Amino acid sequence: MTAVFGVDIGGSGIKGAPVDLARGALAEERHKVLTPQPSAPEAVVAAVREVVRHFDHRGPVGLTFPGVVVGGRTRTAANVDKGWIGLDAEGLFREVLDLPATVLNDADAAGLAEMAHGAGRGRRGVVLVLTFGTGIGSALFTDGVLVPNTELGHLELRGKDAERRAASAAKERHGLTWEQWAGRVDEYLDLVEMLFSPQLIVIGGGVSRKHEKFLPLLKDREAQVVPAELRNDAGIVGAAMAAARAAD
């Protein structure tokens, strides 16, 4: 089978690697470059090309984007340059990389990977994968099927965008202790639980690496709350999965 490549475009870094789809793992060590600042489309696309060219890859490429993506077009850009709004990102990547390209939301990509190879493996019913980082990303699944672009990080919490209060960047910004931040995460989880009644909530994003610091501080709730298993690689793996599906 043709190799499939995954690229995770984040607020601070752009990382990519060829993916072993059967194992749901990176086939080679990933290559990372810093996300250009400002993160305007042309600069990011050039950085992505550098990441892909680092490998001798000639197959489909899947790419994550930290905003809403519908039909390859990026529609929102909460934490990246506003030049992405309304752009045919998929078309742009195809042209510049000269390879088949598929673009999807970053949390959706992480969710696909967790459902296939990580903490959501084999789980039916309603599963919510949440990523805590610069923002809060969400991926909603029902019986393993993704409802894309749910954007639950922008629910309103105490009169504010929820991600401004409860993303892990809010912990850094306000110098919160783990206990204080866990309190905010609990409030946020109360809200999503009230709205969606998920049976399982998977907590991902960079901070999930330190899950033992805050998951035990969260209160008991109806939904089972577990850490993501693929951690840093979830976006790359999920992006490659989406590209493979599109190439089928």
Residues that bind ligand BGC (CB under 6 A): 66-68, 76, 78-79, 105-107, 131, 133, 135, 137, 151, 153, 163
The residues, ordered by sequence, that sit 6+ positions from 149 with a Cβ below 8 Å of its Cβ are: 68, 69, 70, 105, 108
Select 60 or 111, whichever has its Cβ closest to ligand BGC.
111
Select 18 or 133, whichever has its Cβ closest to ligand BGC.
133
Q: Which residue is nearest to ligand BGC (CB)?
A: 135
Select 60 or 66, whichever has its Cβ closest to ligand BGC.
66
CB atoms within 10 A of CB 66: 28
Shortest Å, Cβ 67 to ligand BGC:
4
What is the C-alpha to C-alpha distance for residues 200 and 195, in angstroms, rounded to an integer? Answer: 14
What would the two tokens of residue 59 be?
A: 């197959």
Shortest Å, Cβ 53 to ligand BGC:
25
DSSP string computed for 58-116: -S-EEEEESS-EETTEE---SSS-GGGTTEEHHHHHHHHHTS-EEEEEHHHHHHHHHHH
Shortest Å, Cβ 1 to ligand BGC:
29
Specify the length of the chain in residues. 248
Place of tokens 């501080």: 217
What would the two tokens of residue 63 be?
A: 């790419």
CB atoms within 10 A of CB 164: 17
Taking a C-beta distance cutoff of 8 angstroms, is the pair 27, 20 a contact?
A: yes
Select 3 or 162, whichever has its Cβ closest to ligand BGC.
162
Shortest Å, Cβ 23 to ligand BGC:
25
Shortest Å, Cβ 220 to ligand BGC:
27
Select 18 or 131, whichever has its Cβ closest to ligand BGC.
131
Q: What is the DSSP letter of 218?
A: S
Select 24 or 205, whichever has its Cβ closest to ligand BGC.
205
Shortest Å, Cβ 134 to ligand BGC:
6
